[in-house]
Chain A
Amino acid sequence: MTAPKIGVYICHCGSNIASMVDVEGVRDWAASELADKGVVVSRDYPFMCSSLGQELIENDIKEYGLERIVVGACSPHMHEKTFREASANAGLNPYLAELVSIREQVSWVHTDKVKATEKAKAIIAGGVYRVHEQVPLEPLIAPVNSATLIVGGGIAGITAALEIADAGYPVHIVEREPSIGGHMAQYDKTFPTLDCAACILTPKMVDAGAHPNITLHTWSEVVDVSGSVGDFKIRVKHKPRMVVEADCTGCGICIEKCPVQVIDTGFEAGIGYRKAIYTPFPQAVPKYPVLTPDDCTYFAKGTCKACEKFCPVDCIDFTQTDEFVELTVGNILLATGFQPFDARRIESFGYGRLPNVFTSMEFERMSNAAGPTGGKIVLRDGVTEPKSVTIIHCVGSRDKNTNEYCSAICCMQSLKFAHLVREHTGADVYECYIDMRTPGKGYDEFYNRILDEGTQFIRGRVAEVTDSLRYPEEEGHEGRLIVQVEDTLAGVKRRIPADMVILSTGLEPQPDATEVARMFGVGCSTNGFIIERHAKLAPVATMTDGVFAAGATLGPRDIPTSVSNGAAAAATILSRIAQGQIAMEPYRATVDAARCSGCRICNDLCPFSAITFDEAAMVTEINPKLCQGCGVCVAACPANAISGSGFSHDQIIAQIDGLLSYPGGGDGRPVEEAVGATA
């Protein structure tokens, strides 16, 4: 077989590559040493990705009749598309162009110019060998279903849903709680403007609930996802409400009549009660209540049925069970949000042991006029107003023992708390912070305002919250709390007496975030937040085509950011829908039926259900629409009957041979021995 005509292009990337790699040397080396592998032209250029650099390739393809292109530059994740398009512009199948990284893998990570140059040569050789085995491919085109699934009905999900629905496309919101609204519905005021959360959120909830293009699946969870971009099949479980939604008017009589009160650890964060049949809050959308059998007297003892007796439309149904619905959607948005850090995990702060230590979510509910205390800020006894309140920042954040990341919202929420405490009670407020982080619009002004209001700020990490008095001067503070903190600005240890301590807890992923990520085939970092496709340039896309993420499921963030995430995701999804179809990388596994022995080794290896077995013909088949191109079955097939396009056996073997066949390779040979061959 004669070698294909190959063009090699070495990018300087300004000085990013050229300062560590002898680019001219690599160019000349490729031209001479790889000539027998088909290299007919080898060039270097300051910026291959520029339009002039691309023209260089395009002209060479035409002039030399190049059949393969190898570009040594940055990561394929950066510019693979650029060079494929350049090839396509000149009439060469884009999959015959290969970009190999000599920047991220060489010039940026190595310090010895000679070694770096040798490694760059080997990488170029790997690319040249590999393209021999490259075959023309066509991107796979799939139609995009115009429906969208949004998982999570918090502010990010609602925002995205309304944007997409307003554009005229169907949206399904799946929310596991009885109502949409998310954490924002629990808050009283929002920083820094102090506008009422309900006032700005509930109109959007109502819009979403009433929108003809939005279907709400509340008290529901996604249990299975299959298919791929453009054509996902979703199975949703509707948990039994015990209320016939079609008949319910939302009058609330059932709730009123229900004799069972249970502590509401959900919406009311454990400081209030709800009934066994309830709506989490008056403005819930949808308005239908939910009956929880675990709390219900009828389910425990077989009697009661007060709700049923008093329901004016007879819509209580104790026999309901899980119902499943199947949805087909083209795109998915994960907006599953966060859970507050469990403050019990830091025992020294005493939460759960010392009654007057509160979490931020408890304080939110307490300060909310619609909350259990009617907006009164009181101690755990329910009546006493605190005279002195200490707020502790970074609880469960910026701490090697819990979470190393900054939860982003705690400084501002703490400042808001300080304001609310002073406004409602006039108590003294102390804030113990590590660093004050107020980078949002109007945030620092808010900080200044709180400073002016007289809140005391102590820069230092709190060691402990205790109710035991240790020093004579603490006499008289019996029954109060002492917050021990090192004041790093004054250089002294302080013990601050307080009636109430508020722990400004951080944000953590939902407890089942990892399982959810796995179900949707997206990656999440080790701390559990979903990984963006690109932290800067694709902040709401995930690594999986057609699956997007917005809001705190991506990491701690405030309301404005969550809203912008939701809107950004909606715009991206709308763009996909408008295009009507999507091009996917043609990396797929295919079975050669003549070679397949029907051994069925591969049959249970595919998590995407792409592999099926034809019992009649005794051969395995792979559905290219379901195949995601991972290649596990290719590597498993003992009969060599499955091949993988784009990353074929021959391509990889050739690349291995190329990488190892050139300078610096093998048993510590001195590099100089192999260098001299330059033309």
Chain B
Amino acid sequence: MTAPVTTTQTPTPGPVGEPFEPLILGFTCNWCSYRAADLAGTARTKYPHNVRLIRLMCSGRMEPEFILEGFAKGADAVIMTGCWPEDCHYRIQSVKALRRFLFLRRTLSDLGIEPARLQRFYASAAEGQRFADEIARIVAEVRALGPIQPEIRVALDGHPVAPAPAAEPVEVEA
């Protein structure tokens, strides 16, 4: 499916000259990636502030609705993290998260949200550094991507969340 037709406007929120700071929602597994985040903390490993984490018992708890809620409420990207499939605390549940991730990423892409805005990585409880590195990588990627196209996220009035040009009928090429 082709991407939706984009508007000509360039969204540039925030004060001129300041770099775009994305807001990123991250989901963690209680047994691995949350502990990896703990370990990054204990080891004072620095990573960008842009990510806000939620703890689930398992990455397999992830409902696609949580991710959509994140995007709907202003997240510029969402990260799913969990156990390495071979190390899953619940044995085989990490792979269910993988399946939902792939299904959702395709669907989001068809809805106009770039694949890079839904990311995932594995981090064991011992991989604090990896956790920090991956967060830094994703923040940089999303920062380069800029905010979500205002066309995509729709407010209750039916208008894009960021003000779009008035919907004047325009002539378009057939």
Contacts from A to B (Cβ < 8 Å): 75-77, 101, 103-106, 108-112, 115-116, 118-119, 122-123, 126, 514, 517-518, 521-526, 531, 543-544, 587, 605, 607-608, 628-632, 634-636, 644, 646-647, 649, 652-653, 655-657, 659-661, 664-670
Instruction: Evaluate contact between A647 and B61: CB separation under 8 angstroms.
Output: yes
Minimal Cβ-Cβ distance residue in A for B29: A630
Instruction: Evaluate contact between A607 and B69: CB separation under 8 angstroms.
Output: no
Closest beta carbon of chain B to A101's beta carbon, Å? 8
Closest beta carbon of chain A to B163's beta carbon, Å? 12
Residues of A within 8 A of B126 (CB): 525-526, 531
Instruction: Evaluate contact between B125 and A531: CB separation under 8 angstroms.
Output: yes
Residues of A within 8 A of B63 (CB): 634-635, 649, 652
- 12 pairs across A/B with beta carbons < 8 Å? A108-B44, A122-B52, A518-B88, A523-B87, A605-B96, A629-B57, A632-B60, A653-B69, A656-B66, A659-B25, A667-B148, A667-B162
Q: Is B35 an interface residue (CB 8 A)?
A: yes
Instruction: Evaluate contact between A523 and B31: CB separation under 8 angstroms.
Output: yes
Closest beta carbon of chain A to B86's beta carbon, Å? 6
Given A104-B38, A119-B49, A517:B87 Cβ within 8 A: yes
Instruction: Evaluate contact between A636 and B96: CB separation under 8 angstroms.
Output: yes
Q: A115 CA to B49 CA in the complex, in Å? A: 7
Given A523-B87, A525-B124, A667-B13, A635:B62 Cβ within 8 A: yes
Instruction: Evaluate contact between B124 and A656: CB separation under 8 angstroms.
Output: no
CB neighbors of A among B87-144 (8 A) = 87-93, 96, 100, 124-127, 132
Instruction: Evaluate contact between B20 and A632: CB separation under 8 angstroms.
Output: no
Dominant secondary structure at the B interface: loop
Sort A-B residue pairs by CB-CB distance and give the 7 closest, nearest first.
Answer: A104-B41, A631-B61, A666-B74, A632-B60, A668-B14, A630-B58, A108-B41
Closest beta carbon of chain B to A668's beta carbon, Å? 4
Given A76-B55, A123-B52, A660-B52, A526:B61 Cβ within 8 A: no
Minimal Cβ-Cβ distance residue in A for B91: A607
Minimal Cβ-Cβ distance residue in A for B162: A667
Q: A652 CA to B28 CA in the complex, in Å? A: 12
Instruction: Evaluate contact between B60 and A630: CB separation under 8 angstroms.
Output: yes
Instruction: Evaluate contact between A108 and B57: CB separation under 8 angstroms.
Output: no
Residues of B within 8 A of A659 (CB): 25, 52, 54
Closest beta carbon of chain B to A509's beta carbon, Å? 12
Q: Is B56 an interface residue (CB 8 A)?
A: yes
Instruction: Evaluate contact between A109 and B35: CB separation under 8 angstroms.
Output: no
Instruction: Evaluate contact between A647 and B56: CB separation under 8 angstroms.
Output: yes
Minimal Cβ-Cβ distance residue in A for B21: A668
Minimal Cβ-Cβ distance residue in A for B19: A668
Q: A669 CA to B100 CA in the complex, in Å? A: 31
Chain B interface residue count, Cβ-Cβ cutoff 8 angstroms:
65
Closest beta carbon of chain B to A115's beta carbon, Å? 4
Instruction: Evaluate contact between A526 and B124: CB separation under 8 angstroms.
Output: yes
Residues of B within 8 A of A665 (CB): 23, 74
Instruction: Evaluate contact between B55 and A669: CB separation under 8 angstroms.
Output: no
- Mark interface residues in B11-45 (1 if CB within 8 Å of A CB, else 0): 10111001011110100000110110110111011
Minimal Cβ-Cβ distance residue in B for A111: B46
Instruction: Evaluate contact between B90 and A523: CB separation under 8 angstroms.
Output: no
Instruction: Evaluate contact between B38 and A77: CB separation under 8 angstroms.
Output: yes
Q: A522 CA to B86 CA in the complex, in Å? A: 11
Instruction: Evaluate contact between B124 and A666: CB separation under 8 angstroms.
Output: no
Closest beta carbon of chain B to A600's beta carbon, Å? 16
Residues of A within 8 A of B83 (CB): 523
Q: A19 CA to B152 CA in the complex, in Å? A: 40
Residues of B within 8 A of A103 (CB): 41
Instruction: Evaluate contact between A634 and B61: CB separation under 8 angstroms.
Output: yes
Instruction: Evaluate contact between A656 and B90: CB separation under 8 angstroms.
Output: no
Given A108-B42, A661-B73, A667-B13, A632:B61 Cβ within 8 A: yes
Q: A523 CA to B40 CA in the complex, in Å? A: 19
Instruction: Evaluate contact between B90 and A628: CB separation under 8 angstroms.
Output: yes
Minimal Cβ-Cβ distance residue in A for B53: A105
Closest beta carbon of chain A to B45's beta carbon, Å? 6
Minimal Cβ-Cβ distance residue in B for A117: B49
Instruction: Evaluate contact between A656 and B132: CB separation under 8 angstroms.
Output: no
Q: Is B173 an interface residue (CB 8 A)?
A: no
Q: A629 CA to B93 CA in the complex, in Å? A: 11
Given A526-B84, A635-B60, A667-B162, A543:B70 Cβ within 8 A: no
- Mark interface residues in B131-174 (1 if CB within 8 Å of A CB, else 0): 01000000000000001100000000000011000000000000
Q: A75 CA to B35 CA in the complex, in Å? A: 9
Residues of A within 8 A of B64 (CB): 635
Partner of A630 from B25, B61, B132 at Cβ < 8 Å: B61
Given A631-B57, A668-B21, A652:B66 Cβ within 8 A: yes
Partner of A110 from B46, B60, B61, B69 at Cβ < 8 Å: B46
Quick one: which of B18, B35, B38, B49 has the most chain A CB within 10 A? B49
Quick one: which of A119, A544, A605, A660 has the most chain B CB within 10 A? A660
Instruction: Evaluate contact between B93 and A607: CB separation under 8 angstroms.
Output: yes
Minimal Cβ-Cβ distance residue in A for B75: A660
Residues of A within 8 A of B44 (CB): 108-109
Minimal Cβ-Cβ distance residue in B for A514: B86
Instruction: Evaluate contact between B38 and A126: CB separation under 8 angstroms.
Output: no
Residues of B within 8 A of A525 (CB): 87, 124, 126
Partner of B54 from A109, A115, A652 at Cβ < 8 Å: A652
Residues of A within 8 A of B73 (CB): 656-657, 660-661
Residues of A within 8 A of B53 (CB): 105
Minimal Cβ-Cβ distance residue in B for A520: B91
Partner of A523 from B32, B55, B69 at Cβ < 8 Å: B32
Instruction: Evaluate contact between B52 and A109: CB separation under 8 angstroms.
Output: no
Closest beta carbon of chain A to B44's beta carbon, Å? 5
